[in-house]
Amino acid sequence: MSTAVAESKDAHDVHQHNKPTGIKRWLFTTNHKDIGTLYLWFSFLMFLIGGSFAMVIRLELFQPGMQIIEPHFFNQMTTMHGVVMVFGAVMPAFVGLANWMIPLMIGAPDMALPRMNNWSFWILPVAFIIMLSSMFMPGGGPAFGWTFYAPLSTTYSADSTALFVFSMHIMGMSSIMGAINVIVTIVNMRAPGMNYMKMPMFVWTWLITAFLLIAVMPVLAGVVTMVLTDKFFGTSFFSAAGGGDPVLFQHLFWFFGHPEVYIMILPSFGIISAIIPTFARKPLFGYSSMVYATASIAGLSFLVWAHHMFTTGMPTFALLFFMYMTMLIAVPTGVKVFNWITTMWRGSMTFEVPMLFAIAFVVLFTIGGLSGIMLGVTPVDYQYHDTYFVIAHFHYVLVTGAVFSIMAAAYYWVPKWSGVMFDEGLGKLHFWCSLISVNILFFPMHFVGLAGMPRRYPDYALQFADLNAIISVGGFLFGLSQLIFLVVMVKCAMKKGEPAPAKPWEGAEGLEWTVPSPAPYHTFDTPPEVK
Amino acid sequence: MIVKPKSLLGAVAAVLYTPNSFANNEVRINLTPGISDMSQKVYDLHMLVFYICVVVAVGVFSVMLVSIIRHRKSRGRKPATFHENVKVEIVWTIIPFLILIAMAVPATITLLELDNTDDSELSIVVTGSQWRWHYNYLDYDVQFQSILATPNEQIYGRLPKGENYLHEVDRPLVLPTNTKVRFLITSEDVIHSWFVPEFAIKRDANPGYINESWTNIKEPGIYRGSCAELCGQGHAFMPIVVIAKEPADFDIWIRSEEQRLAAEAEQEEKLLAMEMSKDDLMELGRNIFLSQCSACHQPNGQGIPGVFPRLAGEGISVTDKQAHINIVVNGSSGTAMQSFKNSLSMSELAAVITYERNAWGNDTGDLVQAADIFNFIQGEE
């Protein structure tokens, strides 16, 4: 053991010099920072691809009538948009942030399982190459929505479903390996003195998220396998003709799907809980209640899945149970919002780009949360269900929630990653363009939804025309605004900008700010002491 | 106004420059209160929850706004150091809980009422299939299917769009007012969802299972709805139209409909003995094909590779006639090909099979008559 420690002291320089260069560095890397960078760029690429699918959707919906594409291709676009954004953009972005930041935040030299870390990243591009190339198969790619309800995805789907299933398996494996790595790292590799209740909120939220991933990803793997055997091997899990039940599919899918929703928002809570105290120059209010609230949200997430299925014809008792449980989630979520606002209260705030995104997150995520309560009320959900009201709701929590928090995180930590400050002017331009366009895009969706326009429609009745035109314009503007973000981040990656100090934000706390910027290839070879 | 997009560029230009010919349509931005007591209750509940959410949002955001305006460094604020207060935490856990109870009580009452289908006076089986609705009046000898009436020319912009674009069908569902009507909703293929906003009804049509729902319409009128569960490429093209009539008018309608359907069945009997000419078969067959078959097999019979088989120039359409009759009559289990035995008459089945065997260069010269279909079905039994 002592030799290992002695070696690692000068391993710093040795590794710096022996580091492979070019493609090999990235292909074979076991370094948490390299892998984090890979995840983040990959998710950005997927964000742009998934976004371009959304642009096709909005172009077709700009006016009533079929103008640009056929309904079958439209369904492929909505499906791929969902799959790419959920599994390709949002989840890998959080894993990238975890890779970069968790070892730095807990004073560990790397992730606990570095080779598995490499593997869990590199199977992801393979999964998405399979998934995206399935669109070029005869019959086209998956066209049954990202929720792939049976029997549309079994008896009635194209042959490319096999590729869809296989790539979902690979994505699931990647997520499970990533989650195991996070848990093992946090449990075993915290610096001396850092007990659980001293961990930064981002670490806490990721620890809980990782347990959610391990709990539900196998359910997803099971349900896609059942789809595969129903379609190709004559089983009847989801077919009444053979003794199965199509609604069983929905129960299984949403037993995965609802915790999945929280997988995509809990790390956001961690990010926002890091950024607001920094720029309010005041410690996070109610740290321990934040931890408990996160844990209760995670626990409740297993008891609400059927609120996605109020119209499937469940017994009244079940409808009531899931309505009450869904409403209950508002309580811990409310606690979080109140804590953030109280953290801001009587602080000394400045409004750099990460803080702007964090404030926008709190406001817009709350709007998404409130429409979530409305959706949870079963009798009125009979009206809202599967209309654009639902689309508005989950884009407020996923785009202005999860995606805004990822952008906030990127602006907050990019000085640490790259060693240069980002272009503040362009960053602010990106923020204001995104904020305005995202609301032009998603807010009117509440109205078309309430007026009764169902989702996943390639064409619609004339009374929805004006609002859809506005929504499309908002969509194009939001899409274009993200190119500003690309420019800002590419400039940082190319080291163009003011050199960043070790702690670029005056009010920032935490171990990650004790190492130089950019963070050296190897950090915390000797663990820091946490008091 | 006729727009003929010749290229992608032309199509984009058409999108951008087609003037709004639908300005007379009112833009609605809220739920409809509907036309039944239940839909009114659902609407009231919606408004109650909405106002509570607005009050919460205004409260939370104003505190935040005050903080953003006043507690900023540029105003020389020194940060406070407080970071914990158990009492406050307990208060803001309990208050939201109480607000939620205030919503849950009326929601529970409304739900129990909505889910009670007892004492209905009329039952209708609603069956979804790709991509049409089928209605069966259980208490009468009346059943028919209801298909989108908007022509393809309007959808593809070759004709101006009508007032009820995509919200019109060939045969609407007719219901009596002031009667508790129970819907038994199911499906023949994938999951559909029967959604009529004015009734506050949305219920999934699950293949192999039956869901219940009900309404009691207060006013005569025309009410329009749509399919709300993704069911394939025709998802947006299977609307629902309901005409509500006074009970007396409904009785007249349902009797005349019974007579008409009985007469049609009689006519069908006669047709069995008659030979139709090739031109008549082809003409009728073409219409049936375009309304019933072309969504999958495409108007030109080319199908969609890998999903829907091609009929032009290959397969049983040009070879085995009996197999061809069999698949149209009985469907093909485990695939999207449904049985048309109950939805088309024998002469219609004969015509569409004749059409498929002779259109698009198939030229088999085979004529299929209603009697052939009759014999085929007899032979099966």
Residues of chain A within CATH 1.20.210.10 domain(s) are 22-244, 265-521
Give the gap in angstroms from C-alpha B247 to the nearest C-alpha of chain A: 27
Residues A172-202 have pLDDT tens digits of 999 999 999 999 999 999 999 999 999 999 9
Question: Which residue has tokens 């961690």?
Answer: A270
Contact flag B233-A363 (C-beta cutoff 8 Å): no
The DSSP secondary-structure symbol of B148 reads B
Is B269 a member of any domain? Answer: no
Please answer whether residues A159 and B304 qualify as being in contact, where contact means their C-beta atoms are separated by less than 8 angstroms: no
Interface test with A, best of B24, B73, B97 (most A CBs within 10 A): B73
Handedness of CA A288, A290, A296, A301 (dihedral sign): negative
Q: Is residue B63 part of a domain?
A: yes
Only one residue has tokens 């366009």, namely A437
CB contact under 8 A, B79 and A346: yes
Report CA B243 to chain centroid distance, whole Å.
15
Question: So what's the pLDDT on residue A516?
Answer: 94
Q: How is A249-289 classified by DSSP, letter by letter? A: HHHHHHHHHHHHHHHTTHHHHHHHHHHHHHHHTSPPTTHHH
- What is the C-alpha to C-alpha distance for residues A186 and A103, in angstroms, rounded to an integer? 8
Q: A213 and chain B: CB distance < 8 Å anywhere?
A: no
Inform me whether the C-beta atom of residue B159 falls under 8 Å from chain A C-beta atoms.
no
Q: Is residue B78 part of a domain?
A: no
Write the pLDDT tens digit of every residue in B223-250: 999 999 999 989 999 999 999 999 999 9
pLDDT digits (tens, 9 = 90+) for B112-164: 999 888 889 999 999 999 889 999 999 998 999 899 999 888 998 889 999 99
Q: How far apart are CA B316 and CA A73, in angstroms?
A: 28
Looking at the DSSP assignment, which residues form a beta bridge with residue B185?
A: B126, B211
Does residue B281 share a domain with residue B173? no
Does the pLDDT of residue B2 top 60, yes or no?
no
B132 and B102 belong to one structural domain: no
Q: Are residues B250 and B215 in the same domain?
A: yes
Chain A (500-519) residues lying within 8 Å, Cβ to Cβ, of chain B: 507
| CATH code, domain with B290 | 1.10.760.10
For residues B89 and B146, membership in a common domain is answered with no
In angstroms, the CA A174 to CA A120 distance is: 4
Residue B258 touches chain A, beta carbons under 8 Å = no
Nearest CA-CA distance, residue B34 and chain A, Å: 11
List the end-to-end C-alpha distance of chain B, in Å, as a whole number.
54
- What is the Cα–Cα distance from A340 to A275, expressed in whole angstroms? 10
Min Cα–Cα distance to chain A from B320, Å: 25
Give B367-381 pLDDT, tens digit per residue. 888 888 888 888 876
Q: Which domain holds residue B355?
A: 274-378
> What pLDDT is recorded for position A294?
95
Chain A residues with CB under 8 Å of B242 CB are none
User: Is a pLDDT exceeding 70 seen at residue A480?
Assistant: yes
Q: What is the ipTM of this complex?
A: 0.91
Task: Show the tokens assigned to A107.
Answer: 């004073």
Q: Does B190 touch chain A (CB under 8 A)?
A: yes
pLDDT digit string (tens) for A348-394?
999 999 999 999 999 999 999 999 999 999 999 999 999 999 999 99
Mean pLDDT of chain B: 87
Res. B4 pLDDT band, cuts 50 70 90: very low
Residues of chain B in contact with residue A363, where contact means CB-CB under 8 angstroms, are 61, 64
**Which of B213, B234, B260 marks a domain boundary?**
B260
Structure letter (DSSP) for residue A519: P
| Residue B266 domain-assigned (yes or no) | no
Q: Which two tokens stand for residue A417?
A: 């990653």
Q: What is the mean pLDDT of residues A79-89?
A: 96
Q: How confident is the model at residue A217 (pLDDT cuts 50, 70, 90)?
A: very high
Q: How far apart are CA A435 and CA A447, in angstroms?
A: 19
CA A131 to CA B116: how far, in whole Å?
Answer: 45
Distances from the Cα of A236 to the Cα of A148, A166, A228, A240, A243, angstroms: 16, 20, 11, 7, 7
Q: Is A463–B28 a contact, with Cβ atoms under 8 angstroms apart?
A: yes
Read off the DSSP letter of residue A512.
G
Q: Is the dihedral of CA B359, B363, B368, B373 positive or negative?
A: negative
Spatial strand order of the sheet with B201-205 comes to B173-176, B240-245, B221-227, B192-196, B201-205
Q: Roughly how many angstroms between the first and final C-alpha of chain A, as a whole number?
A: 25
Q: Work out the burial of residue A527: count CB atoms within 10 Å of its CB; fewer than 13 is exposed, 13-18 middle, 19 or more buried.
A: middle
Q: What is the pLDDT of residue B26?
A: 65
Fold of the CATH domain A265-521: Cytochrome C Oxidase; Chain A (1.20.210)
Confirm whether B74 is domain-assigned.
no
Is residue B245 domain-shared with residue B215, that is, in the same domain?
yes
- Could you tell me if A275 and A97 are in contact, meaning their C-beta atoms sit under 8 angstroms apart? no
Task: Give the pLDDT mean for A473-486.
Answer: 96
CA dihedral sign of residues B362, B364, B365, B366: negative
Q: Please indicate if any CB of chain A lies within 8 Å of the CB of B203.
A: yes
Q: At CA B113, angle to CA B109 and CA B119, rounded to 5? A: 155
Shortest CA distance to B81 belongs to which of A328, A283, A525, A257?
A283
Could you give the residue numbers annotated as active site of A?
Answer: 81, 110, 146, 174-175, 258, 260, 262, 273, 307-308, 333, 336, 455
**Helical spans, DSSP H, in chain B:** 8-17, 37-70, 86-114, 152-155, 247-273, 278-288, 294-297, 321-330, 346-358, 370-380
Contact between A426 and B127 under an 8 Å Cβ cutoff? The reply is no
Q: Is B5 on the interface with A (CB under 8 A)?
A: yes
β-strands B181-187, B211-215 pairing: antiparallel
| CB contacts, 8 Å: B130 with chain A | 156
Number of structural domains found in chain B: 3
pTM of structure: 0.89
B residues 58-97 closer than 8 Å to A (CB)? 60-61, 63-64, 67-68, 71-74, 77-85, 88-89, 92-93, 96-97
Boundary of a domain, candidates B194, B228, B260 = B260
- The 3 state secondary structure assigned to A366-392 is HHHHHHHHHHHCHHHHHHHCCEHHHHH
Of A67, A328, A349, nearest to B68 by CB-CB distance is: A349
Q: Regarding beta strands B122-129 and B181-187, do their DSSP bridges make them parallel or antiparallel, or are they unpaired?
A: parallel
- Phi, then psi, of B345 in degrees rounded to 5: -80, 170
Q: How many CB atoms lie within 10 A of CB B276?
A: 20
Map residue B115 onto helix, strand or coil: coil
- CA separation for the pair B324, A271 (Å, rounded): 62
Q: Do residue B13 and residue B109 come from a single domain?
A: yes
Question: B79 lies in a domain?
Answer: no
Q: Which residue does chain A place closest to B70, by CA atoms?
A: A346
Contact (Cβ atoms closer than 8 angstroms) between residue A183 and residue A207: yes
Distance (Å, whole) CA A12 – CA A8: 7
CATH code for the part of the protein at A22-244: 1.20.210.10
Q: Looking at the predicted structure, is the pLDDT value of residue B6 above 80? A: no
The Cα-based distances of A358 to A198, A273, A396, A411, B53 in angstroms read 22, 9, 14, 11, 22
Task: Let me know whether B213 and B106 are in one domain.
Answer: no
- Secondary structure class of B135 (helix, strand, coil): strand
Binning pLDDT at 50, 70 and 90, where does residue A499 land?
A: very high
Tell me the C-alpha distance between B45 and B28, whole Å: 19
Å from A421 to nearest chain B CA?
21
Residues 420-459 of A with CB under 8 A from B: 447, 450-452, 454-459
Quote the CA–CA distance of A287 and B85 in Å, as a whole number.
Answer: 11
B75 within some domain: no
Say whether residue A335 is in contact with chain B using an 8 A CB cutoff. Answer: yes
Could you give the CA distance from residue B365 to residue A72 in angstroms, rounded to a whole number? 33
The answer to whether A458 and A75 have CB atoms below 8 angstroms apart is: yes
Q: What is the spatial distance between Cα A33 and Cα A275, in angstroms, rounded to a whole number?
A: 21
A411 in Cβ contact with A354 (< 8 Å): yes
Lowest mean pLDDT among A87-91, A223-227, A366-370, A524-528: A524-528
Q: Is the peptide bond before A218 cis (omega within 30 degrees of 0)?
A: no
Instruction: Report if residue B354 sits inside a domain.
Output: yes
| The last residue of a domain, from among B221, B238, B260 | B260
User: Same domain, yes or no, for B202 and B186?
Assistant: yes
Per-residue confidence (pLDDT) for residue A16, from 0 to 100: 52
Residue percentage of chain B with pLDDT more than 70: 92
Nearest to A447 among B29, B115, B333 (CB): B29
DSSP annotation of B187: E
Q: Between β-strands B132-137 and B122-129, what pairing exists: parallel, antiparallel or unpaired?
A: antiparallel
- pLDDT of A326 over the 70 cut: yes
Question: Regarding predicted confidence, which is higher, A56 or B270?
Answer: A56
Computed on alpha carbons and rounded to an integer, the radius of gyration of chain B in Å comes to 28
Look at the block and give the residue holding tokens 């009970």.
B247
Closest chain B residue to A355, measured at CA: B68
pLDDT digits (tens, 9 = 90+) for B290-330: 888 887 888 888 887 777 888 888 888 888 888 898 888 88
A57/A512 Cα distance (integer angstroms):
41
For B181, the enclosing helix (H) or strand (E) is strand B181-187
CATH number at residue B220: 2.60.40.420
pLDDT, position B153: 86
Please write the tens of the pLDDT for every residue from B16-55.
Answer: 444 444 444 567 889 999 999 999 999 999 999 999 999 9
Reported confidence tier of residue A8, pLDDT bands at 50, 70, 90: very low
Angle between helices A465-493 and A32-60 (to 10 degrees): 160
In chain A, the residue whose alpha carbon lies closest to the alpha carbon of B212 is: A313
Q: Rounded to whole angstroms, what are the CA distances from B312 to A192, B283, B291, B300, B303?
A: 75, 18, 18, 8, 9
**Contact between chains at B306 and A327 (C-beta distance less than 8 A):** no
- At B63 the pLDDT is 96
A461 touches chain B (CB under 8 A): yes
> In this predicted structure, what is the pLDDT of residue A17?
53
pLDDT value of position B271: 74
| Mean pLDDT, range A66-89, rounded to an integer | 94
**Nearest chain B Cα to A292, which residue?**
B89
The residue whose two tokens read 């912009």 is B157
pLDDT digits (tens, 9 = 90+) for A247-292: 999 999 999 999 999 999 999 999 999 999 999 999 999 999 999 9
Q: Residues B192, B231: contact at Cβ < 8 Å?
A: yes
pLDDT of residue A4: 41
Same domain, B225 and B320: no
How confident is the model at residue B333, as a pLDDT? 67
